A and B are shown apart, each in its own frame.
Chain A
């Protein structure tokens, strides 16, 4: 068990270096260094020695590998330098927006799991019947809907036509004049549409995943054994199958995080939700390289850590993994 976790962690460290190297290569394969882009836009009157001094200060006159190591030294401590836009620390800017994104995604994630998993298990238990086939097609259709289109239609219907929910933003204009209870309600009303937009596709993923997990378990010999020795069908499902079908859901924890972050970019842009997805998109548009780099590494590391966590939890939940790894 211990050796399995240690090995997983070592690979995690290796992956971290891979992530930083990939991001660094990506940014450096762009023609022209970031400083010359910035300078050409903001200070055209600088003399050549002054330019060289700036380059030297940012290590841009050194070989590629040295530049990477300088940047890595800071990145390990989650220091990504200052934003080109407002000269504030990139880490501070990210930490300031992160809670908004977590709030939105946590609610969407829980909602999707609470609806999707039971639907998936329920339809797998009715394997082969029309209702199972229909639900499989329905999951596919939900999964094929472009989220930004769904968002537009929701806005069109609930905000423009019915006028019962706000179009975008996190709070209303008169938020600070409201009482506390009204503030809570106002914020909740702003949450509804973005949460629904994020949750519907995830719900389909959860449903499909838990359905195939249960279908897989039902094919196992120990289920046949339980049936053969006369255990009631309902009891086979509840006692023998469901618990084992839930274990693979742990891996979804690691798999959905990058998916959530991708979804946040679109949803936060449409609903003007002030989280890291929107920060990333505006940084890309304004070519704020330090913020783009910092966010790319930060989100990849979040994915890496949640994946490691999922693997470790999985090993705790399923002894077969531990034994296989120990061999």
Chain B
């Protein structure tokens, strides 16, 4: 039903197809290109030509290979960070929505506190304090972005916790944990997945910003952000360094945002 309505949007299908292709490219990155860390100082900062289709960077490394391998970092950080925020957010949101009262009050206060911090500021602080690595970037993004998921989950739980099927489960003597995880969670997950799609987009955007600022996944691992940060040093000359990784970030983030938007429309009964 939802898929049928989602399918009606051509743009969303294109976005989904594009993400499928990017995921495939990221998985097969090593098969598709040469070594992204192959330094060739003889051919530094070459514009795009036959051998280097997207040019080379300041160490003579192939930009195409680096952009393709960069997809790995962006996608895996994006998915992993969103998975963390989905777990934290769903858990706290479910507790708040199911038990209400003190649990709800407490979770709501914690959300208020987290929302007061400028997102990037907090992420930068965590990454810088614990040292930049794949793991810290992922955890920092996950720990700071779960509030949307929590609020959606709380709302859904409030809506469905008194429905007949939940009461039936309670009447048949199921324990709270079982009711929450087996009965309510599967029925509450759909709207949360919408925010997860936006979450992946935001995580990819923030990861690239961190890499750009020099506090992301550390070099020589290629990321879209750190190619752009090289581009900044050679801005008066090497336009290809600035153009291609940026296009990659933009298209991927846009695709996740569009999918999130269309899934939300498909779930919204008023959009008919």
**A258 interface residue (CB < 8 Å to B):** yes
* Distance from B51 Cβ to chain A, minimum over Cβ atoms (Å): 25
Closest-by-CB residue of B relative to A305 is: B116
Chain B contacts for A167, CB-based, 8 A: 235
How many angstroms from the CA of A184 to the CA of B16 in the assembled complex?
49
List of 10 A-B pairs having minimum Cβ-Cβ separation, nearest first: A262-B120, A18-B113, A149-B246, A144-B254, A261-B118, A258-B118, A144-B253, A300-B116, A284-B128, A262-B118
Give the segment of A111-119, A153-161, A189-197 that binds chain B.
A153-161
Q: Which of B126, B242, B261 contacts A153 (CB 8 A)?
A: B242
A 243-292 contacts with B by CB, 8 A: 257-259, 261-263, 265-266, 269-270, 280-281, 284-285, 287, 292
How many angstroms from the CA of A269 to the CA of B120 in the assembled complex?
13
**B146 interface residue (CB < 8 Å to A):** no
Q: Mark B45-83 against chain A: 1 for CB-CB distance below 8 A, else 0.
A: 000000000000000000000000000000000000000
* B125 x A292 contact (CB < 8 A): yes
Chain A contacts for B205, CB-based, 8 A: 144, 146
Q: Known contacts being A18-B109, A137-B11, A300-B116, is A285 close to B242, with CB within 8 Å?
A: no
Most buried by B among A147, A148, A301: A148
* A153 x B116 contact (CB < 8 A): no
**B130 interface residue (CB < 8 Å to A):** yes
A 134-153 contacts with B by CB, 8 A: 136-137, 140-141, 143-149, 152-153
Closest-by-CB residue of A relative to B214 is: A285
Tell me the interface secondary structure of chain A in the complex: helix
Q: Which of A148, A270, A285, A303 contacts B118 (CB 8 A)?
A: A303
Which residues of B does A touch, CB under 8 Å?
11, 109-110, 112-122, 124-126, 128-130, 201, 205, 208-209, 212-213, 215, 228, 231-232, 235-236, 239, 242-243, 245-246, 249-250, 253-254, 257-258, 261, 270
A 213-270 contacts with B by CB, 8 A: 219, 257-259, 261-263, 265-266, 269-270
**A26 interface residue (CB < 8 Å to B):** yes
Cβ contacts A to B, 18 pairs, < 8 Å: A18-B113, A26-B125, A140-B254, A140-B257, A146-B205, A148-B209, A148-B212, A149-B245, A152-B228, A152-B246, A258-B119, A265-B120, A266-B209, A284-B128, A295-B121, A301-B116, A303-B116, A303-B117
**A53 interface residue (CB < 8 Å to B):** no
Closest-by-CB residue of A relative to B256 is: A144
Chain B contacts for A265, CB-based, 8 A: 120-121, 124, 213
* A156 x B239 contact (CB < 8 A): yes
* B128 x A285 contact (CB < 8 A): yes
Chain B contacts for A27, CB-based, 8 A: 129
Q: Known contacts being A15-B113, A141-B254, A269-B213, is A149 close to B11, with CB within 8 Å?
A: no
**A66 interface residue (CB < 8 Å to B):** no
How many angstroms from the CA of A278 to the CA of B25 in the assembled complex?
36
Q: Known contacts being A146-B246, A284-B128, is A160 close to B236, with CB within 8 Å?
A: yes
Chain B contacts for A143, CB-based, 8 A: 257
Chain B contacts for A287, CB-based, 8 A: 128
Tell me the interface secondary structure of chain B in the complex: helix
Q: Which of A19, A140, A145, A261 contacts B113 (CB 8 A)?
A: A19
Q: Which of B116, B231, B246 contacts A15 (CB 8 A)?
A: B116
How many angstroms from the CA of A156 to the CA of B258 in the assembled complex?
29
**A79 interface residue (CB < 8 Å to B):** no
* A296 x B130 contact (CB < 8 A): no
Chain A contacts for B245, CB-based, 8 A: 149
Closest-by-CB residue of A relative to B108 is: A11
**A185 interface residue (CB < 8 Å to B):** no
Q: Known contacts being A140-B257, A156-B235, is A281 close to B213, with CB within 8 Å?
A: yes
Q: Which of A18, A145, A155 contacts B110 (CB 8 A)?
A: A18
* Distance from A23 Cβ to chain B, minimum over Cβ atoms (Å): 8
**A82 interface residue (CB < 8 Å to B):** no
Q: Known contacts being A14-B109, A156-B235, is A146 close to B250, with CB within 8 Å?
A: yes
Q: Which of A145, A152, A296, A301 contacts B250 (CB 8 A)?
A: A145
* B246 x A258 contact (CB < 8 A): no
Most buried by B among A11, A15, A295, A307: A15
Chain B contacts for A259, CB-based, 8 A: 118-119
Q: Which of B201, B212, B242 contacts A156 (CB 8 A)?
A: B242
* B261 x A140 contact (CB < 8 A): yes
Chain A contacts for B253, CB-based, 8 A: 144, 146
Chain A contacts for B236, CB-based, 8 A: 160
Q: Which of B113, B124, B209, B249 contacts A284 (CB 8 A)?
A: B124
Closest-by-CB residue of A relative to B119 is: A262
How many angstroms from the CA of A160 to the CA of B122 in the assembled complex?
34
Q: Mark A298-319 against chain B: 1 for CB-CB distance below 8 A, else 0.
A: 0111011001000000000000
**A22 interface residue (CB < 8 Å to B):** yes
How many angstroms from the CA of A303 to the CA of B118 in the assembled complex?
8
Closest-by-CB residue of A relative to B143 is: A26
* Distance from A145 Cβ to chain B, minimum over Cβ atoms (Å): 6
* A140 x B246 contact (CB < 8 A): no
Chain A contacts for B122, CB-based, 8 A: 296
Most buried by A among B115, B117, B208: B117
Known: A140-B254, A167-B235. 10 other contacts (CB 8 A): A143-B257, A144-B201, A149-B245, A152-B231, A160-B235, A262-B119, A280-B121, A281-B213, A284-B125, A284-B215
Closest-by-CB residue of B relative to A257 is: B118
How many angstroms from the CA of A299 to the CA of B119 in the assembled complex?
11
